[in-house]
Amino acid sequence: MRPILVFIWILAFLAYTHVHALNPYVQSLEDFVIHTLAHKERVVELAVAHLRYLQAKDPGRWGHLSENVVRAQASLHDNPKLEVQNARKLYDYYGLNKNHFSSKEKKIFEEFIAKLEREEKNIRPKFLINSQAYEDLNHIIFIADQVDRGLDPVTREEMGKITRLASTKSYLTSDRAMVLALEKNYWNIIRGHSFFEVKERLPKKAFEIWAEVGRVFEDRSKISICVLGRLSSQVKKAESELLFHHQY
């Protein structure tokens, strides 16, 4: 009987620790941060590609937006997830299928995600553009995020389940043609921004600096985003447009 109990205990322990060591991608908090950075970079590239498709189709409707502004706004996507405390909490959920949560667990998780979404909304400046352009930018970035979430293999690992393609989601029906175009060209658009490509490119000391800055400035952990952001080549491309760095 004892061997069976030991076996059950081992299984429970592995489930509790999410079996991160067996993941082909994210095996540590550092990997999770890199995964988030890579996703951010891909969202930028997909958002720019989306804008190009829209402007080619209807230049009169979409001519009010520039690629630089789209890059600058899209580079702010998921920034709150890179705050040290938020990243650690999100990593605790990594690999767990949220559909299996209890009602209480689901409520706690959803409240946490809602908090991150509010924080992201607050750091996207509105004063550089009018309200219509702001709404258009948010929609373009939302589509880019959905497309990447549907095709990125690391996201499937993160969610603990098979992810659906953006083109199959009912709430994106009106954007389906554009979504399909992005999905068709996805691997060309995001070339150079996969998890392993970003991991290889990021300086070895980047995570140590991020963690240390977050530890020292726990009440101002957004500073850590800047540390990683400046080490991320994608964000550097948008820096000329980021007149709003004072947000941090």
Rounded Cα distance, 51 and 246, in Å: 27
Rounded Cα distance, 149 and 144, in Å: 9
**Domains of the chain by residue range:** 25-247
User: DSSP class of residue 125?
Assistant: -
Answer with the residue of higher pLDDT: 100 or 7: 100
Answer with the residue of higher pLDDT: 213 or 234: 213
pLDDT at 39: 96
pLDDT at 3: 58
Task: Give the tens place of pLDDT for each residue, 104-153.
Answer: 999 999 999 999 999 888 877 655 567 888 889 999 999 999 999 999 99
pLDDT at 14: 47
CB atoms under 10 Å from CB of 124, counted, come to 18
Confidence of residue 57 (pLDDT cuts 50, 70, 90): very high
pLDDT at 60: 92
pLDDT at 5: 53
Question: In this structure, which amino acid lies at residue 14?
Answer: L
Question: In this structure, which amino acid lies at residue 23?
Answer: N
Kindly tell me if the per-residue pLDDT of 51 is higher than 50. Answer: yes
90-110 core/surface letters (b: 16 or more CB in 10 A; e: else): bbebbbbeeeeeeeeeeeebe
Phi, psi of 134, rounded to the nearest 5 degrees: -65, -45
- Asked if 95 and 20 touch (Cβ cutoff 8 Å), the reply is yes
Question: In this structure, which amino acid lies at residue 172?
Answer: L
pLDDT at 131: 80
Specify the long-range contacts of residues 219-225, CB closer than 8 Å, at least 24 apart.
221/83, 221/84, 221/85, 221/86, 222/79, 222/83, 222/248, 223/248, 224/82, 224/83, 224/84, 225/79, 225/82, 225/83
Kindly tell me if the per-residue pLDDT of 228 is higher than 80. Answer: no
pLDDT at 187: 97
Task: Give the tens place of pLDDT for each residue, 5-36.
Answer: 545 444 444 444 444 556 789 999 999 999 99
pLDDT at 53: 96
pLDDT at 133: 86
Task: Give the tens place of pLDDT for each residue, 142-175.
Answer: 999 999 999 999 998 988 878 899 999 999 999 9
pLDDT at 98: 86
Using a 10 angstrom Cβ sphere, with 0-12 exposed, 13-18 middle and 19 or more buried, the burial of residue 198 is buried
- Asked if 40 and 77 touch (Cβ cutoff 8 Å), the reply is yes
pLDDT at 237: 43
Confidence of residue 232 (pLDDT cuts 50, 70, 90): very low
Q: How many Cα atoms occupy the beta-carbon half-sphere of 74 within 13 Å?
A: 34
pLDDT at 88: 92
pLDDT at 146: 96
67-88 core/surface letters (b: 16 or more CB in 10 A; e: else): eebbbbbbbbbbbbbbbbebbe
pLDDT at 162: 80
pLDDT at 181: 96
